[in-house]
Amino acid sequence: MSWAAVVFTFALVDNVILSRLLGLETGDGARGGTRSVWLGGSIAVLMSVSAVAAWTLDSLLLVPLGLTMLRTPLLVFVVAGIALGFQALAARFLPAVLERSGVSIPRVGVNCVVLGLVLITTRAEYGALQSFLAGLAAGAGYLLASAMMGAIRERLEIEAVPPVLRGVPLQLITAGLMAYAFMAFDRGFLARLLGA
C-alpha cells in the first residue's frame, strides 16, 4: 500500500472512531477547540510512536521466536509504558503546556484507540514507516472526528433537545450520523483519488 493510501485510509476511510468504533469520547471528553487539538495531537504522537515500537517488537522478537500469541498482552504493556514515558517527559520539560491542555497522557494511552491501531498495523504487517504514517493519519482522523463531534455537541447544548436524549444518547446518535457521512470516503473513492 502506498504512503498516500495509508494516510487517506486511516484518516478518512477507516477512521478509528467512526469506522472502527474505537475511542469514542462520551464522558467529559475533549470540549472546546484547543482541548480537542491537544487531545488529537497527543493521540497522533502516541499512536505513531506506539505503532513503530509495536512493529519493532513484532518483527524482531515475536515473529522470529514464534511468540505471536503473546502479541496483544505485550503490546498493551508497550503502549502503557510509552504513555507513561511521555507523561513523565511532558511533566519534566513542558509542565505548563501539559497543564493548559488538560490532557492526561496515561488516560490517552489506555484508550482503546491507541491499542486498536497498534494491533491493526501489526496484523496487517505494515513496515515501520507505514506504521508511523498510519499512526499520524489515524491521529488526524481522530482529531477531525472529535473536533466535529465537539462542535456539534456545543451547538446542541443551546438547542431544545429532550432531556432523555441529552448526554451519551445524543453523542452516539451524532457519531452514527457522522459515520454515515464518512461512508462517502470508501475504498472506491480512494482508488479514484489516487488513480489506482
Q: Which of 31-40, 134-143, 154-163, 179-188 has the lowest mean pLDDT?
A: 31-40
Tell me phi and psi for residue 195, to 5 degrees.
70, 25
Q: What is the pLDDT of residue 25?
A: 54
Cell of 82: 510509552
Q: What is the spatial distance between Cα 79 and Cα 110, in angstroms, rounded to a whole number?
A: 8
90 and 24 Cβ atoms separated by less than 8 Å? no
Domain range summary for the chain, segments of one domain joined by + = 3-11+28-141
Q: Where are the beta strands (DSSP E) in 78-177?
A: none
19 and 182 Cβ atoms separated by less than 8 Å? yes
pLDDT of 89 > 70? The answer is yes
Q: What is the pLDDT of residue 160?
A: 87
Q: Which of 4-13, 63-72, 124-133 has the lowest mean pLDDT?
A: 4-13
Q: What is the pLDDT of residue 66?
A: 92
Amino acid identity at 13: V
The better pLDDT of the pair 76, 32 is held by 76
Among 129, 145, 184, which residue's Cα sits nearest to residue 6?
Answer: 129
Q: What is the spatial distance between Cα 88 and Cα 29, in angstroms, rounded to a whole number?
A: 22
Q: What is the spatial distance between Cα 94 and Cα 106, in angstroms, rounded to a whole number?
A: 16
Amino acid identity at 175: A
Q: How many residues does the chain have?
A: 196
Query: Mean pLDDT throughout 143-148?
Result: 83
Give pLDDT tens digits for 158-186.
888 888 988 888 888 888 888 888 887 77
> Which percentage of the chain shows pLDDT scores above 90?
12
pLDDT, mean over the chain: 81
